[in-house]
Amino acid sequence: MTNDKLRWGILSTANIGKKAVIPAIKASSNGTVAALASRDGQHAQVVATELGIPQSYGSYEELLADPGIDAVYIPLPNSLHYEWTIKAARAGKHILCEKPLALNADQCMEMAVAAEQAGVLLMEAFMYRFHPQLAQVRALLDQGAIGDVRLLRSAFTFRLTNPANIRLQSELGGGSLMDVGCYCVNLSRTLFDAEPVEVQAFASWSAGGVDEQIVGTLHFANGRYAQFDSALTLARRETYQVVGTDGVLDLPVAFLPGTNDTLIYQNRGGPNEQSYTVAGVDEYRLMVEHFAGAVLGQRPVRYPASEAARNVRVIEALYRSARNNGRPEAVEPV
């Protein structure tokens, strides 16, 4: 590490890297983007030049072999997270891997073991958890602002029109639950600070076999429920509502507020009685700064890979239920 800055390598020319995470690392206080790799060396060079990245490689292996890289960011299709995280760990690189961490919880745990054995950190890149909006919701719930919380309703939908998109390819780990429903599952587990005991889901499947739309219920202990829907075929929504015995919190922009201010509405029975403004911030920058700070030894990583495994375990149970036409499914412990 140079001058207390983590030297990042980027595996692929993925859109999310180009649009959000590479700019976030470049803007971060404790990281630099040292290299980018693509399956196509020429393309890697073009993108690296465009984004001001000093080194490019024509294969992911070459980047992993570069001793000048401390950590990698992996924004590959979901089906490739497992393979490249394990390879990166074995190459001694710390890893920030896109969500969902893998296709199933067993893979996630193998990735966690590989990272531990190599002495590197591994974290799933759920950036929304670093937005202060979530901390503010947590604080309101802890203060009892809406009483005893019993229900969470969340949605993350958008309309995908390009049939070649990775989200529509079942062999690449596509599907709306894998892509955006995973946020709703993560949010539900995070706000209830618990794992669901049982889930139920119904889905519409594309001709290629991915869930284009899914509606699910997570049953937590003590009469607490989370309901969500996600889709690749519906108008854009990314919202949630937390319902307690005394009131309701409404979040019109839940996961991707950009750098705009966001609002939390609090309602205790009448019209929206109160609202809180959360100042806009780049949640991707906060995420990469947190991870780099953990690698640089300033703090423990806030979300270990075992947390990601538990999220994927719930996703597995939801898919089992959806494939069995809504049959309730127990969530196996990780």
Ligand X SMILES: NC(=O)c1ccc[n+]([C@@H]2O[C@H](COP(=O)([O-])OP(=O)(O)OC[C@H]3O[C@@H](n4cnc5c(N)ncnc54)[C@H](OP(=O)(O)O)[C@@H]3O)[C@@H](O)[C@H]2O)c1
Query: Which stretches of the chain bind ligand X, using CB under 6 A?
Result: 12-16, 38-40, 43, 75-78, 80, 98-99, 125, 127, 166, 172, 179
Interatomic CA distance for residues 84 and 64, integer angstroms: 10
In angstroms, what is the minimal distance from the CB of 100 to ligand X?
A: 7
Spatial neighbors of 165 by CB under 8 A, at least 6 apart, are 174
User: Which residue lies nearer to ligand X by CB, 14 or 33?
Assistant: 14
Residue closest to 222 by CA, chosen among 310, 149, 329: 149
Query: CA–CA separation, 287 vs 127, rounded Å?
Result: 6
- Identity of the residue, 164 or 235, whose beta carbon is nearer to ligand X in the bound complex: 164
Whose Cβ is closer to ligand X: residue 181's or residue 247's? 181
Least separation in angstroms between residue 269's CB and ligand X is 35
Q: Find out whether 151 and 243 touch, Cβ atoms under 8 Å.
A: yes
Nearer to ligand X, 144 or 163 (CB): 163
Beta carbon of residue 249, minimum distance to ligand X (angstroms, whole number): 23
Q: How far apart are CA 211 and CA 182, in angstroms?
A: 13
Minimal distance, residue 256 CB to ligand X, in Å: 7
Backbone torsion region of residue 194, taken as left when φ is above 0, otherwise alpha when ψ lies between -120 and 50, otherwise beta = beta
Residues 6+ apart with CB under 8 A from 178: 78, 100, 167, 210, 315
Q: For residues 274 and 84, give the distance between their C-alpha atoms in angstroms, rounded to a whole number.
A: 46
- 39 or 327: CB nearest ligand X: 39
> Among all chains, which residue has been given the structure tokens 């980047």?
63
Q: Which tokens sit at 148?
A: 């005893």
- Nearer Cβ to ligand X, position 220 or 303? 303
Question: What is the end-to-end Cα distance of the chain in Å, rounded?
Answer: 34
Minimum CB distance to ligand X, residue 271 (Å): 33
Decide if 136 contacts 174 (C-beta within 8 A): no
Q: Name which of 76 and 122 has its Cβ closer to ligand X.
A: 76
Smallest separation, CB 46 to ligand X (Å): 10
